[in-house]
Structure 1
Amino acid sequence: MKSLRELFRIGKGPSSSHTMGPQKAAKIFASHNMHAASFEVTLYGSLAATGRGHMTDVAIDEVLRPIAPLRIEWQPQVFLPFHPNGMKFVAFDNAGNQTDEWICYSVGGGALSEGEKGRWLTGLREVYKLNTLREIQDWCESNGRGYWEYVNESEEEDIWDYLMDVWKAMKESVERGIDHEGALPGPLNLPRKGPIYYVKASGYKQSLQSRALVYAYALSVSEENASGGIIVTAPTCGSCGVLPAVLYHLSKGHNFSDTRILHA
């Protein structure tokens, strides 16, 4: 099993594979081509077919256009051999000569792959020796430890700093969502409902309030994701609302400390 960093990724919605992955790829390519005069990005296969709806072009544009002019090509009928979510980044100099080219793939959950030809992406090492929940549970019971203590033994020391950043991003996505009124992006002009449910839930009697608040929190984060806001994959953008909603309610409604939330 790999690090929890691969499960919880902080990034831009609404799709871990169509938005977060391409934006991460753009940042990597930009870091190697800061002096480029222009860029061209070609999106292939399913990444191109639904890219506009997932704001793939917006995510890439935010990274590369501040450096140099950018042209994005859409090739939904062309599928590269390794994965349907293929991308090709090209950099040019002032004379229009190609100076760099990189092909990579957004393989889900915000993760990237270079296929069989690695160049800039390093392999992810296995962090956890045990690979099933049953094995981990047996270890915890045999050693009188909690799940978080197994994490503490397996991960690097700064994992708790990273998870604190994750928790902070989760809280902020809930709080933005319950305060963010108006319509979601897109031609349907669907109104946000998270803030409405939050107001309603706040007025319920105590026996009904907990469930209603958790629902309002989860919906609010999902709407932040749909609008291209910053969220945490858990493990994808599509499921990003559930875990923050539960943890936020434990924090606010049951006074759980940050330490207890991180251990959870």
Structure 2
Amino acid sequence: MSVSVFDLFKIGIGPSSSHTVGPMRAARRFAAELTADDTLTRVRRVKAELFGSLGATGHGHGSVGAVLGGLEGEDPETVDTTASPARTAEIRQTHRLRLDGRHEIDFDVDEDLVLHRRRSLPFHPNGMTFTAYAADDVLVERTYYSIGGGFVLDDDGSGHPVLQPDPTPVPFPFRTGTELLIHCANTGLSISEIALANESARRPEADVRAGLLRIWRVMVECVENGCTTTGVLPGGLKVRRRAPELHQRVLDEVGPFGSGTATQNSGDVIDRIDPLAAMDWVTLWALAVNEENASGGRVVTAPTNGAAGIIPAVLHYAVRFVPGMGDDDIIRFLLVAASLGSIYQQTASISGAEVGCQGEVGTACSMAAGALAEILGGTPEQVENAAEIGMEHHLGLTCDPVGGLVQIPCIERNAVASVKAITAARLALHGDGAHTVSLDKVIKTMMETGADMKTKYKETARGGLAVNIVEC
């Protein structure tokens, strides 16, 4: 089996894939099931309960609005991101909700949507239960798990539900990095060619290419929005959006995309081009995406929302600074990144609530590093090496969002990881692909490290920076 690129990269809504996208999908699935079973019109009340990390940081991660939107039939890819906050406020004020968009019921947000801050379900920290009632009688009760990246599992009663990849037979199934490299060695194909062959078994190749370029366009739009939208991010921390100011400063100091056309730097004349000017652009692009995400804007989950700025930033770097890059290279980049991400999704975790931020930012850095290595001419072995480097130097990274918001340290963390991905790719390309620690070994280590990590460091806002910063 292998996970589709369109499962790893999903167009959605900020600020969190596990806390916003996942709950919206789960709530929507529950409401749709009520309609499909002809139960909808009998429902008089619905109760939604969020557990574990969802309960602990759901308010700061937009989970309340996501659940309400999902119960009304909204989808993360198409929901109006500008209208959602107003609709949430309206439901809270009127105590009326349109279940599946067609059946109006009483709904008291404070009573019927419960965030359990200290209770968890046994399988995964991002668990949620929805119950539909006819008067006091339970009609339907369902439990779901948001396992990161917008993926949602139904509780099948086994106690350990598993992700079911697309069942379509593909020519080159893989779960591990070793299996992927074996396919490359046996066929002489690159990782992107292996991935394209698998995707083309699911849908026409032309549709694959068009779909990937659409994902890229959304990434570009997200960067553009982040570079032009000013103000303060929502949530109470009063974090100022820095991307627009940085955008103008970089333009003034080094010119468009590092061209060196301007000569002013904080009032002092410079007579040479800053050799690290490209990194300023990379930082800007990552900040722009994650500020959009933090404000609840439209983003591409890549592979999560908390790490959504890394792949767009590194791909922007390739398009803007590497000569000769075009649509084919963009497609190859996304195919390789998704192939690497699918290994993490199938053999480990991309959930900050389960393994800490190493599973989010670390995975995205690994994906971006490997993808960049291929489009810069790397062999499959060098790509695997780049991906391994990207994760190796994120091992142990905690998820400690201040105020339960995807802002501090999440936004800057994406910028730093984007630069680190470029470094990892370039380091791997200076080698021959041979290295001591394999990608599979570092992924196994990441999962073990996450299991050993205390719960307070895994998206609960009860440890680390979340409790140690001094608020003014």
CA distance in 2, matches of 1:107, 1:171: 27
Q: How far apart, CA to CA, are the structure 2 residues paired with 1:135 and 1:82?
A: 28
Identity %: 35
Measure the CA separation in 2 of the matches of 1:108 and 1:199.
34
Question: Which residue identity lines up with residue 12 of structure 2 in the other structure?
Answer: G
Counterparts of 2:138 and 2:210 in 1: how far apart (Å)? Answer: 41
Q: Which has the higher contact order (CA 8 A, sep 6+)?
A: 1
Larger mean CA deviation between 181-190 and 72-81 belongs to 72-81
Following superposition, the deviation at residue 87 of structure 1 comes to: 0.7
Residue 202 of structure 1 contacts residue 213 of structure 1 at CA under 8 Å; is this kept in 2? no
Moved more, 39-48 or 108-117: 108-117
Q: 1:44–1:135: structure 2 CA closer, same or farther, 3 Å change rule?
A: closer
- What amino acid maps onto 2:141 in structure 1? E
Task: Give the 3 Å change call, closer, same or farther, for CA 76–198 of structure 1 in structure 2.
Answer: same
For residues 16-51 of structure 1, the C-alpha deviation after alignment (integer angstroms, 9 at most, x for no partner) is: 211111111011112123444442211122211111
Partner SS, residue 53 of structure 1? coil
> What displacement does 1:10 show?
2.1
Change (3 A) 1:73 1:257: same
Aligned to 1:27: 28
Out of 30-39 and 226-235, give the one that drifted further: 30-39
Separation (CA, whole Å) in 2 of partners of 1:44 and 1:151: 36
Q: Which residue of 1 aligns with 2:58?
A: 51
Equivalent residues of 2:142, 2:155 under 8 A apart: no
Measure how far apart 1:216 and its partner are.
Answer: 0.6
5 Å-filtered alignment, 1:161-172, equals: 161-172=210-221
| Equivalent residue number for residue 98 of structure 1 | 138
Structure 2: segments with no counterpart, 5+ residues: 72-96, 260-272, 334-472
Q: TM-score, normalised by structure 2?
A: 0.51
Distance apart, 1:196 and its partner CA: 1.2
What is the aligned partner in structure 2 of residue 174 from structure 1? Answer: 223
More helix by share: 2
> Which structure has the bigger radius of gyration?
2
Equivalent residue, structure 2, for 1:241: 309
Corresponding residue number in structure 2 for 1:117: 157
Which amino acid in 2 is paired with 1:172? E
Equivalent residue number for residue 222 of structure 1: 290
Return the offset for 1:139. 3.7
Partners in 1 of 2:147 and 2:60 — Cα distance?
Answer: 18
Matched residue SS, 1:240: coil
Structure 1: gaps spanning 5 or more residues = none
> Equivalent residue of 1:33, what SS?
helix
- Report the number of matched residues: 261
Aligned pairs (5 A) from 1:1-264: 1-34=2-35, 35=40, 36-64=43-71, 65-67=97-99, 68=104, 69-70=106-107, 71-93=112-134, 95=135, 97-117=137-157, 123-125=164-166, 128-137=172-181, 139-140=183-184, 143-155=187-199, 156-157=202-203, 158-205=207-254, 206=259, 207-208=273-274, 209-252=277-320, 256-264=325-333
Equivalent residue, structure 1, for 2:85: none
Q: How many angstroms apart in 2 are the aligned matches of 1:37 and 1:263?
A: 50
Cα distance in 2 for partners of 1:112, 1:242 equals: 23
Moved more, 30-39 or 5-14: 30-39
The CA distance in 1 between the partners of 2:136 and 2:320, in whole Å, is 56
Q: Tell me, in whole angstroms, the C-alpha distance in 1 between the residues paired with 2:324 and 2:132.
A: 51
- How far off its partner does 1:241 sit? 0.3
Report the more deviating stretch, 192-201 or 32-41.
Answer: 32-41
Q: Say whether the 8 Å CA contact 2:49–2:113 is kept in structure 1.
A: yes
Q: Distance in 2 between matches of 1:140 and 1:105?
A: 34
What SS is found at the alignment partner of 2:253?
A: coil
Aligned equivalents of 2:137, 2:12: Cα separation in 1: 33
Residue 255 of structure 1: how far off its partner (Å): 6.7
Measured against aligned partners, the alpha-carbon deviations of 1:152-185 in whole angstroms (never above 9, x if no partner) come to 2112224334323322221221111111110001
Residue 138 (structure 1) shift? 5.2
CA distance in 1, matches of 2:12, 2:246: 25
Contact kept? 2:226, 2:243, Cα under 8 Å? yes
Work out the CA distance in 1 between the residues paired with 2:154 and 2:178: 33
Give distance in 1, aligned partners of 2:12 and 2:218: 9
The answer as to whether partners of 2:23 and 2:70 remain within 8 angstroms in 1 is no
